[in-house]
């Protein structure tokens, strides 16, 4: 065998081995962030905990319920750092570090929506607080919702509340979302903000924020009517999504 043939063959073999070991480094040599992003790992927060991250479903809380968010993940529509998520259960993401996409589009502003603030002295760390000091980087709007406006941030819905607010001349600097919701056919005051601490403080049951509802009746009420109201009212409405079959909902 010629020396040059032996040398070139061994160099090629060494190059192949180098790339093989680079691609298959031990988990012990990888950072926790790399381990979590590994393509074959169906993690359920096994290297990320509550004090280091938040559950993936909370990334979508401005537009979807927890169950709807889990269905998005289950359907394969969500990626983390470019890699598909193949299981809906209990994943955690790191704020200001992990990049979450839905249908190929980056989901932005979810950290602030969950009341998280990047630390000025260390951009890789963040703080979370239920305190409500105002912050100049957050937007707050009071909006008297007219009939016909839908309390959603989904741009695909022409009657969405964000476009309605912009049409009134408001120019939010950040992504805003409504605090709670009013039915499409109802009117009333609603708050919109980019501050995720606000809905947490106002809507979560443990904070016991008082709520007052004003109802107009179509006839004078007698004592018997008042008794019926005090006993509780069952309301049945018809829900219809995306022109599909109507479904009665009772509350």
pTM of the model: 0.45
192 exposure class (CB count in 10 Å sphere: 0-12, 13-18, 19+) = buried
State residue 72's pLDDT score: 87
Q: Where are the domains of the chain?
A: 29-128, 140-250
Structure tokens at 6: 């032996």
Q: How many other CB atoms are found less than 10 A from the CB of residue 18?
A: 10
119 exposure class (CB count in 10 Å sphere: 0-12, 13-18, 19+) = exposed
CATH of 29-128, one of 3.10.290.10, 3.90.1150.10, 3.40.50.10280, 2.70.150.10: 3.10.290.10
Provide CATH code, domain 140-250. Answer: 3.30.70
Rg of the Cα atoms in the chain: 26
State residue 162's pLDDT score: 92
Nearest by Cα to 107 from 87, 121, 93, 120: 93
Same fold, 29-128 and 140-250: no
State residue 160's pLDDT score: 93
Show Cβ contacts of residue 150 under 8 Å, excluding neighbours closer than 6 positions: 157, 159, 160, 161, 184
| 144 sits in which H/E element | strand 140-145
Per-residue pLDDT tens, the chain, 251 aa: give them.
443 444 444 555 544 444 443 443 332 333 333 333 333 443 333 344 455 688 888 888 767 777 888 888 888 899 999 888 866 556 888 888 889 999 888 887 788 777 777 777 776 677 776 544 454 578 889 999 999 999 988 888 999 999 999 998 888 877 888 988 888 988 999 999 887 777 777 777 767 778 777 778 888 989 998 898 888 877 776 655 556 666 666 55
Nearest by Cα to 140 from 203, 192, 179: 192
């Amino acid at each position: 065998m010629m020396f040059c043939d032996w040398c070139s063959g061994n160099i090629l073999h060494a190059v192949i081995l180098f790339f093989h070991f680079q691609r298959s480094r031990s988990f012990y040599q990888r950072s926790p962030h790399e381990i979590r992003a590994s393509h074959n790992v169906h993690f359920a927060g096994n290297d990320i905990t509550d004090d280091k991250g938040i559950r993936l479903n909370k990334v979508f809380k401005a537009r979807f319920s927890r169950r709807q968010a889990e269905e998005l993940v289950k359907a394969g529509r969500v990626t983390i750092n470019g890699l598909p998520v193949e299981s809906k259960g209990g994943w955690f993401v790191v704020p200001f570090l992990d990049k979450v996409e839905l249908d190929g589009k980056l989901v932005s502003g979810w950290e602030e929506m969950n009341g998280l603030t990047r630390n000025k002295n260390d951009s890789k760390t963040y703080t979370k607080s239920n305190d409500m000091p105002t912050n100049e980087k957050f937007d707050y709007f009071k909006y008297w919702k007219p009939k016909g406006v839908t309390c959603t941030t989904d741009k695909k819905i022409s009657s969405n509340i964000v476009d309605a607010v912009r049409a009134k001349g408001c120019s939010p600097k950040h992504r805003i979302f409504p605090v709670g919701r009013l039915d499409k056919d109802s009117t009333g005051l609603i708050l919109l903000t980019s501050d995720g601490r606000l809905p947490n403080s106002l809507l979560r049951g443990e904070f016991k924020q008082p709520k007052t509802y004003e109802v107009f009746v179509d006839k004078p009420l007698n004592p018997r009517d008042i008794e019926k109201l005090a006993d509780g009212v069952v309301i049945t409405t018809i829900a219809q999504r995306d022109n599909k079959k109507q479904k009665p909902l009772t509350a």
